[in-house]
Structure 1
């Protein structure tokens, strides 16, 4: 059942990010990026068995954050894509700090949520640092490589820059997070297994979102994406 649920969630998320873009323009992609970064860091706490491997949740949502920056890069430019990365990083930091404050409150004797919240949001500085480093490094690299390939291919081969930039960036993200968060805690073979299983799943997500970039570009060129001015007028 896990594989069926996983593919169903992937399809739902890909359709949802396109809906965000169609309905709200690039602001919808900014909002999607924030949601992905926050929820992926919550979902990653859950271990599952998937495709015969031990993996964490959060890979679909986190993978679609790269899709968001690729759409922004293609249709709106490098500055808008980097802005999404800035916003995502800042809101991730705010989430960690605010939830740290929430955990500090002494719970009421009748409280039922404190223990669960402490387990989910009580990240050690090492894990939190790994998450921040991996996110910033991989996302900025994704935007940089996307535009490098766009310049090299003279605006052709969208599938190439979408997949190559995302897959390389996902490898950077996975390597940094696994290395910083877990080095010294597990044997090398376990770290390698965790890296490979996580990256393979992210690779599937990256490969499956190519059609979304093409559709988003088609909508943008046909003038079907709303702009800030349209919302101001209404």
Structure 2
């Protein structure tokens, strides 16, 4: 006769689900970057001859994190990371107009009120374009990164860096096409803006993304193998 399993003791703490520590940390960083990218995008920065909106740096971190998660934990996990990234993004899109609509304190200087409204008061087209470009380009990045990996196993080392550069560059081109077309088409000629942003983002993807993926993967493996 088989004994029935023992019932848990009253007041006993349930066992925590198995969740890699590095994946937990990457998820936290990912959620923050989805919100920060839109805020940083209000500044244009000059990188030598290239001009690019500063939100690209946070967006490239999203590429690095999603690619690293795909490398370590598989495409399905990386896709879920991208999709759950809509949650903090959606909360920020809802919360910002509410805060802007609330009356400012009389103690807040008028110039600071104007700067705050200018910084966060994006037009509806821009607010709609951001999530669409984000979802399509990040899911595409994960798909390309894993498709280039094939079914042959680890595919780490130098080939991982090449896959990261290619996936990031192509997804950044798509992101630029979607975002600028949805946000600005019909407002002014967008061809020069499209070409300039694509060139800048492709160069940054090739230069920055591969070493950052290598660092993120090495950091995650070290964190996951450390004893609790």
TM range (shorter): 0.7 to 0.9
Give the 3-state SS of the residue equivalent to 1:209 in structure 2: helix
**Residue 3 (structure 1) aligns with:** none
**Residue 145 (structure 1) aligns with:** 144
**Residue 106 (structure 1) aligns with:** 103
**49-58 or 73-82: which moved more?**
49-58
Give the 3-state SS of the residue equivalent to 1:225 in structure 2: helix
Give the 3-state SS of the residue equivalent to 1:55 in structure 2: strand
Q: Distance in 2 between matches of 1:228 and 1:144?
A: 30
Is residue 2:227 matched to residue 1:225? no
| Contact 1:25-1:226 within 8 A present in 2 as well | yes
| Contact 1:71-1:213 within 8 A present in 2 as well | yes
**Residue 61 (structure 1) aligns with:** 58
Q: Distance in 1 between matches of 2:191 and 2:153?
A: 37
Please state how far the C-alpha of 1:196 moved relative to its aligned partner.
2.4
Deviation string 1:60-119 (CA, Å, 9 cap, x unpaired) is: 121111010000000111122122212322211111111111011112222234322211
Q: Distance in 2 between matches of 1:217 and 1:107?
A: 45
Scaled by the length of structure 1, the TM-score of the pair is 0.78
Please state how far the C-alpha of 1:147 moved relative to its aligned partner.
1.6
User: Going by fraction, where is helix more abundant, 1 or 2?
Assistant: 1
**Residue 18 (structure 1) aligns with:** none
Alignment length (residue pairs):
203
Scaled by the length of structure 2, the TM-score of the pair is 0.79
Q: Distance in 1 between matches of 2:51 and 2:184?
A: 15
Q: Map 1:30-109 onto structure 2 (within 5 A).
A: 30-109=27-106
| Contact 1:96-1:121 within 8 A present in 2 as well | no
Q: Distance in 2 between matches of 1:118 and 1:219?
A: 39
Task: Give ranges in structure 1 of 5+ residues lacking alignment.
Answer: 1-23
Give the 3-state SS of the residue equivalent to 1:226 in structure 2: helix
Q: Distance in 2 between matches of 1:129 and 1:173?
A: 13
Q: Which stretches of structure 1, 4 residues or longer, exceed 6 Å deviation after superposition?
A: none
Please state how far the C-alpha of 1:219 moved relative to its aligned partner.
5.1
